[in-house]
Amino acid sequence: MLDVFLLAVPLYLLIAGGFAAVRSGYLPPENLGGVGQFALKVCLPVLIFAAVSKPGELRLLNWSFVAGYSAASFLVIGTMTQVMRRIYGHPPGRSIILGLGCGSSNSAFFGLPVAAIALGPDQAATIFAWILLAENMVVIPFCVSLAESADQREGSFLASLRGVLAGMARSPLMIALVAGLAVSVTGLEPPAPIARTMAMIVSAAPVLSLMLVGGFIAHESVRGAGVPVAAITFAKLLLHPLAAYLVLSALPGLDHATVIGGMLYAGVPMFTIYTLFAARHGGETLASAAQVMATAASLVTINFLLFLAISSL
């Protein structure tokens, strides 16, 4: 267990470094947006493109995994939506978005570095591409559209869904995924200088991503932390990976390492812009507190999941 903990320590040192840099004022908070845009629009798209552009990679796109991971996420989101609605009395739209935080991960900035510890960077990046499809083309658009239509902000559910999907389709991550898969069909490989340049950018992605996580939570608040926040944190860090493991294990054709990868991605805290989505429905205080609590608690839960993953591989 100690060996696994030591493997994960650099991840949390990077998060702590980002937190300290912003909280101390050494890095002004307003600079986070530019650094985040660089990571989101340069480093991560190059990483995705490099992962899926290898010859034959399109044939490896696992739609069974995409469907299973989406189903596991919806199971947790649906359960927590009902908890937020019926037990804590939140309105429908807010309940859906708070539930979304329990079933949608910070896969790019947090999940990828964690999964790479157990699976290696190549397999972790391949599974990341599948999860990118599940989250950005299925889970998040459906839930955001449902929340908007529940609050009658954007008209019908289908109109909301079209708008959200159009925005997701313009995402640099999705464009990189489609472009990489298209290149994989050709069987071409980049010249050595370009490949080395891409490798240098890819190596920077985890460092930037994790420091950004720390910087972002330094900006968040734990005001309003209480039982609902604890429930969201518990569902995200424990129920979501458990659901992913059980659903993916039940599907034929998925090897054990792939199932473990899905569990690890599901076990990281919620996606970075969770608070922004929640703010549209008056839930920013809860979402902000849950994001901070989940990131802190993940120091324990992620090490536990990594121990289980590494022991079983």
More confident residue, 54 or 311: 311
More confident residue, 189 or 193: 193
pLDDT at 14: 87
- The average pLDDT across 161-181 equals 77
Banded model confidence at residue 223, pLDDT cuts 50, 70, 90: low
> How high is the mean pLDDT of the chain?
85
**What separation, in Å, do the N-terminal and C-terminal C-alpha atoms of the chain show?**
15
Q: Given CA atoms 252, 256, 257, 262 in this order, what sign does their dihedral have? A: positive
Quote the CA–CA distance of 238 and 147 in Å, as a whole number: 24
Contact 212, 43 (CB under 8 A): no
**CB count in 10 Å sphere of residue 301:** 19
pLDDT at 71: 97
Contact 49, 194 (CB under 8 A): no
**pLDDT higher than threshold 90 for residue 44:** no
Contact 97, 283 (CB under 8 A): yes
User: What are the C-alpha distances in Å from 120 to residues 30, 75, 231, 233?
Assistant: 34, 29, 32, 27
Banded model confidence at residue 4, pLDDT cuts 50, 70, 90: low
Quote the CA–CA distance of 247 and 309 in Å, as a whole number: 16
Identify the burial level of 25 via C-beta atoms within 10 angstroms of its C-beta, where 0-12 means exposed, 13-18 middle and 19 or more buried. Answer: exposed
Highest mean pLDDT among 113-127, 143-157, 220-234: 113-127
Per residue in 8-30, pLDDT (tens digit) is 788 888 888 988 998 898 988 88
- The average pLDDT across 127-147 equals 87
pLDDT at 2: 61
Banded model confidence at residue 33, pLDDT cuts 50, 70, 90: confident
**pLDDT higher than threshold 70 for residue 83:** yes
pLDDT at 230: 92
- The average pLDDT across 196-219 equals 81
pLDDT at 155: 56
pLDDT at 42: 84
Banded model confidence at residue 192, pLDDT cuts 50, 70, 90: confident
